Structure 1
Amino acid sequence: MLYPLLAAAANSPAATAYMRAAAQTAGRDKACRLGQYFARLVAHLLRARKGSAWLATLVRVQATLSTTRKILRAGKFVDFLVQLIRGLQARGVDEVERVLGAGHKAGMAAFMLADTLGVMHSPALALVQLRDAPLVARLAMRAWALALASNLALGLYRLRAASLRAADVRRVRKHLEKDADAMGHRECVAEEHAVAQRHAAALRLTLVSALDLAIPTSALGLLGINEGLVALAGTVTSLMGIQDVVLSSS
């Protein structure tokens, strides 16, 4: 009885998706991020119930997963610096997208650099000694906020561009319908489908950036938001990140 159940579970789409995601560094990072923010969310909920035996455990899980993720992405600022330079050198790119993309890459490079220095200074590694570790942590949050704000603006810009393009296609399609142009009609349908996909991607980018932006802005004291809502935002975007990794690996 047990073997057929295990065999069915091992061959299920969920198991396949898990293996594909777990085989990638990005997938493991998103899984750790989900655990980190979910633990933070549950810990916030348990703080109202004083004396909960799980509270200390959840705080420890959150801190451990946070440190683990920082160690895994140590040195990743080089990737963003390379992407920044290549993006600035690219030709035939919308100038607004180029500027906003550069803002995101520059912010992420600075965030990852400060983050790497911070984890190297932490008791877990103690490889370097920083004169003002809290200042480095604040700089990391500011850089992350800049990167997310750039991505948020980019998402809004792409949403507007997709909406304008969709309106143009609708006008052309209406004109072609009057002329009974079947081939032009099929081309318009294909273009509408492509525009809808770009609109969905831009909407997702905007939503993820807006939710994640609550984390650094709250840490900097720029946004007076409940700790539970910050943790919930991180949990939701972590789930969306896992979904992206699974879809990209399928």
Structure 2
Amino acid sequence: MASIASQVVLHPVTSQSLKVLSVTMGRDKLYRAIQYFARFFAWLLLSRGYKIQAARWDALKSQLALGRKLMRVGRFVENAQAALRAIATPGDAGERITTIGRQISYVGYLSLDSLIWIHSAKFYPLLPSTAQKVNKRSAQFWFAGIVFSIVNGLLKAGRLANEVKQLQSQAWADKGVEAERELKLRGLQTDRDAVRYQFIIDLLDVWIPATNIGLVNFNDGVLGIFGLVSSLMALRQQWIAAAGKK
């Protein structure tokens, strides 16, 4: 038994899992996956008449959502810094504008998100009408940030596709230059894959704030599945990043 326990504790998968969970982003994506699974499962149970069981999962969802808000307190500063860097960095105008728009939107979203946590923790309670307005405004900023990210992904994908076509259309006689071109093509393909991956995550996530602000009317089952899949995709990114760390 001691040998089995040792193998489990010292297994590379265990070590990599600890790396993922040692950073706030890794824990956030794991908690988010559980939160949205709980949202889906609570809806499923309630739709079948299991009210008591559904209440347990709904409470888990709410507590995880509140805990994640606490982990995000102050993170709007990172987005403010990213917006300033995007303003100062030269590049494609459309990509820069959408990047700046996304970061500014997330500054608004995360700032109000922190205020919602302060209210939920009853440290500084807001009036019910004010809390409702803050929640809706926060969702509007979140929605805007994802839309900017989707547009940015489309623009970036188009630019990368054009760069790949240009490289592929050029004929190179020198082997050294040809090897350099292949290296650039691999780099561009990696960038395209990353853009497509994030694009899928954004397409899944955008319906959550869109429902919160009343643009669409998806039920908790659909939103739970969307949030679960996008969370697992984001968690996979954290897993790959942890695997690359020594």
- TM normalised by structure 1 equals 0.91
| 1:186-201 matched pairs, under 5 angstroms | 186-201=179-194
Alpha-carbon distance, 1:209 to partner: 1.0
Match of 1:145 in 2: 143
Alpha-carbon distance, 1:10 to partner: 1.6
Match of 2:12 in 1: 13
Task: Decide which moves more: 195-204 or 90-99.
Answer: 90-99
| 1:51-66 matched pairs, under 5 angstroms | 51-66=50-65
Match of 1:205 in 2: 198
User: In structure 1, what is the Cα distance between the partners aligned to 2:114 and 2:146?
Assistant: 19
Aligned partner letter, 2:189: A
Root-mean-square deviation (CA, aligned residues, Å) is 1.6
What is the aligned-residue identity percentage? 24
User: In structure 1, what is the Cα distance between the partners aligned to 2:182 and 2:84?
Assistant: 37
Alpha-carbon distance, 1:247 to partner: 2.0
- TM normalised by structure 2 equals 0.92
Does 2:154 match 1:129? no
| 1:1-250 matched pairs, under 5 angstroms | 2-88=1-87, 90-122=88-120, 124-130=121-127, 132-172=130-170, 175-176=171-172, 180-250=173-243
Number of residue pairs aligned between Structure 1 and Structure 2: 242
1:201-246 CA-to-partner distances (Å, cap 9, x unmatched) read 1101111111110110011121233432211111111112212222
User: In structure 2, what is the Cα distance between the partners aligned to 1:5 and 1:52?
Assistant: 41
Three-state SS of the structure 2 residue aligned to 1:132 is helix
Aligned partner letter, 1:208: I
1:68-119 CA-to-partner distances (Å, cap 9, x unmatched) read 111121222222222222321x232322221111111111010011111111
Aligned partner letter, 1:115: D
Three-state SS of the structure 1 residue aligned to 2:215 is coil
User: In structure 1, what is the Cα distance between the partners aligned to 2:37 and 2:96?
Assistant: 35
Aligned partner letter, 2:242: S
In structure 2, relative to structure 1, the CA distance for the partners of 1:154 and 1:228 (3 Å cut) is same
Structure 1 unmatched runs, 5+? none
Alpha-carbon distance, 1:128 to partner: 4.3
Structure 2 unmatched runs, 5+? none
Alpha-carbon distance, 1:185 to partner: 2.1
Task: Decide which moves more: 124-133 or 54-63.
Answer: 124-133
Three-state SS of the structure 2 residue aligned to 1:198 is helix
